[in-house]
A and B are shown apart, each in its own frame.
Chain A
Amino acid sequence: MFRYKFIMICLSLLSILLLNATADAQKVMSVQVKESYLRATPSHLGKIVAKASYGDRVTVFAEQGDWKKVSLTKGKNQGWMHNSSLTSKQIVLKAGQSNVATSVSRDEIALAGKGFSDEVEAQYRKNNKTLDYAWINRMEAFTVSPKQMGDFVSSGQLVQGTEGGKP
């Protein structure tokens, strides 16, 4: 009995050690914004290499200031993404895909569409009919293309260097 307990303790400690080691060797992060891009250089002006969507997993290869060089786990292209678009949590897009919850601590996952979500907003709107979401939707539809921004910067004699966070 004592021997059995000892072996169990050793095995569980060993497995935890090994799990930690593999996690360190290759850092995987998730895209935490609706959409973002992998760019050829660490700058928002950098040429777009690939598009990334909410919940996509990326492998990190290098860091430079606020930027990380990554590749999508389901793609080949490498490119730079800004820190603010990435999280170390794993994002579970649908409740049904939540088998990860058994192997990963809840602190390390985030459930998309859960908590304060469109579902809660819909309920809140029902209870507060005076609120004006029409203008919110209209303003969210305003978009600025990279070209428009580039023209605005150059014609206004502004600078848009490697920034977008600390260089």
Chain B
Amino acid sequence: MNKLIWRTGIIFLMLLLLISCAAVETMTKVATEVAVQSGTISRSQGDSISKSTKAVSKSLEDFTPEQEYYIGRSVGATVLVKYQGLANTRANAYLNVLGQTLAQASDMPELFGGYHFLVLDSDDINAFATPGGHVFITRGLIRCCRTEDALAAVVAHEIGHIQLRHGMQAIEKARTTEALTILAQEGAKSFGSQQVAQLTQSFGGVISDITNTMIKNGYSRTYEYQADAAAVVILRRTGYNPGALTEMLGVMDKQLKPGGTDFAKTHPSPQNRITELKGSGMSFVGGETPAVRNKRFTTAVGIL
């Protein structure tokens, strides 16, 4: 009898040690493993316990950056059905060096495939950012920018959406679970054609969740304000005048046509965004845009 108490005591102590340094999931794994090894439950029972613990912890985090990149490519390809890319090397080169500079100052400077920027050939006032780092800005929106600082504000807002993973959050919860369940099924084995078909269907659902939000309905006001706030931080880190964001919104307010299918439909009104920014307590004090910045801005995108 004494022996039994002694043995139970040792096991208990070891478990205590483990608990102090392990998360719930690890604990379940350990307990299950112990139960299997001591013959209390069978191996298959043990496996199913581990699986159900894991299912609970499924979330957006389970999509790898590589998968977000592929989601981003197809979201971008959908944007490019509505809008054409602008074949202007100078404008695109300028937008990319500006965009990379801002992206490196963001909280998410590195993505699977990096950041890439493209001017869209449209008079609409619109911009999009995919989870894969593809950022699109229309000519119409660039025309709302009078300075490089203002264009930087527009680009930084889009980087803000990527950094805050707003695109991924537009995926419906049920879809996330569905997709991740298919992904978990096969584990290390390679997928058969049936799984590829299943995954492709799930992929299509993810793309339409994101593009419906991004192109048709718009993100929530909260997300837009969050992206504005992220933009202000990025502008400050890179030395741009954060006040350029409110200036640009002022210009946009005059240019937006009520009832349009662009920013007029998918974003809170520029006036509301300005009010929100001013009420946020953030400082918008910044220097004048130096002449050299405005010169290169005009040279690159002035004729758009």
Interface residues of A (CB under 8 A from B): 5-6, 8-10, 12-14, 16-17, 20, 32-34, 36, 44, 54, 66, 82, 84-85, 87, 89, 91-92, 95, 98, 101, 105-107, 109-121, 123-124, 127-128, 130-133, 135-136, 138-140, 142-144, 148-149, 152-153, 155-161, 163-166
Which of B138-146, B194-202, B254-262, B270-278 is found at the contact surface with chain A?
A: B194-202
Contact of B237 among A66, A131, A155, A163 (CB under 8 A): A163
B304 within 8 A of A: no
**B65 interface residue per 8 A CB criterion:** yes
Instruction: Kindly list 18 other residue pairs between chains A and B, CB separation below 8 angstroms, not including A144-B96, A152-B101.
Output: A9-B38, A13-B15, A101-B188, A106-B188, A114-B183, A116-B199, A120-B196, A124-B204, A127-B200, A136-B134, A139-B118, A148-B97, A149-B100, A149-B104, A155-B296, A157-B292, A158-B238, A165-B107
Docked-complex contact B200 and A123, CB < 8 angstroms = yes
If A32-B65, A120-B70, A142-B96 touch, whether A160 touches B203 (CB-CB below 8 Å) is no
Find chain A residues with CB under 8 A from B113 CB.
Answer: 33-34, 140
B25 lies within 8 A of A107 (CB): yes
Give the residues in chain B near A5, CB-CB below 8 Å.
Answer: 38-39
**Chain B residues with CB under 8 A of A127:** 200, 204
A37 CB to closest chain B CB (Å) equals 10
B49 located at the interface, meaning its Cβ lies under 8 Å from any Cβ of chain A in the complex: no
- Which residues on the A side are within 8 Å of B77 (C-beta)? 131-133, 135-136
Interface assignment of B184: CB less than 8 Å from any CB of chain A: yes
Q: A132: which of B64, B80, B112 is its contact (CB, 8 Å)? A: B80
Task: Establish whether residues B116 and A135, one from each chain, have CB atoms under 8 Å apart when the complex forms.
Answer: no
CB-based contact A12/B37 at 8 Å:
yes
Size category of the binding interface on chain B: 35 or more
Q: Which residues of B contact A158 (CB under 8 A)?
A: 101, 238-240
A110 to B116: give the CA distance in the assembly, Å.
25
Instruction: Give the chain A neighbours of B93 by CB distance below 8 A.
Output: 142
Do A10 and B73 have beta carbons less than 8 Å apart? no
Contact B54 A95 (CB under 8 A): no
Complexed CA–CA distance, A5 and B34 (Å): 10
Chain B residues near A135: list those with CB within 8 A: 76-77, 80, 84-85, 118
Judge whether A117 and B33 touch: CB under 8 Å: no
Which chain B residues numbered 93 to 114 have a C-beta less than 8 Å away from chain A? 93, 96-98, 100-101, 104-114
Residue numbers in B under 8 Å from A165 (CB-CB): 106-109
Closest to A119 in B: B196
Give per-residue flags for B57-79: 1 if the beta carbon is below 8 A from chain A beta carbons, else 0: 10000011111001101101110
Q: A84–B196 Cα gap in the complex (Å)?
A: 29
Residues of B within 8 A of A13 (CB): 11, 14-15, 18, 30, 34
A164 and B100 CA atoms in complex are apart in Å by 11
CB pair A149–B97 under 8 Å, yes or no, is: yes
Contact B105 A160 (CB under 8 A): yes
Residues of A within 8 A of B116 (CB): 139-140, 142
Q: How far is the CA of A142 from the CA of B97 in the complex (A)?
A: 10
Q: How far is the CB of A48 from chain B (nearest CB, A)?
A: 14
| A-B residue pairs, 10 tightest by C-beta | A98-B188, A132-B80, A159-B239, A131-B77, A135-B85, A101-B188, A116-B67, A95-B190, A85-B110, A158-B239
Which residues in A have their C-beta under 8 angstroms from that of B109?
A: 44, 82, 84, 164-165
The answer for the CA separation of A91 and B112 in the assembled complex, in Å, is 13
B111 to chain A, nearest CB (A): 7
The interface residues of chain B lying within 8 Å CB-to-CB of A113 are: 66
Instruction: For the complex, give the distance between the alpha carbons of A95 and B190 in Å.
Output: 6
Q: Which residues of B contact A152 (CB under 8 A)?
A: 97-98, 101
B290 touches A156 (CB 8 A): yes
**Are A32 and B64 in touch, CB under 8 angstroms?**
yes
Tell whether A123 pairs with B196 under 8 Å between CB atoms, given A32-B64, A136-B77, A164-B104.
yes
- CB B259 to nearest CB in A, in angstroms, measures 27
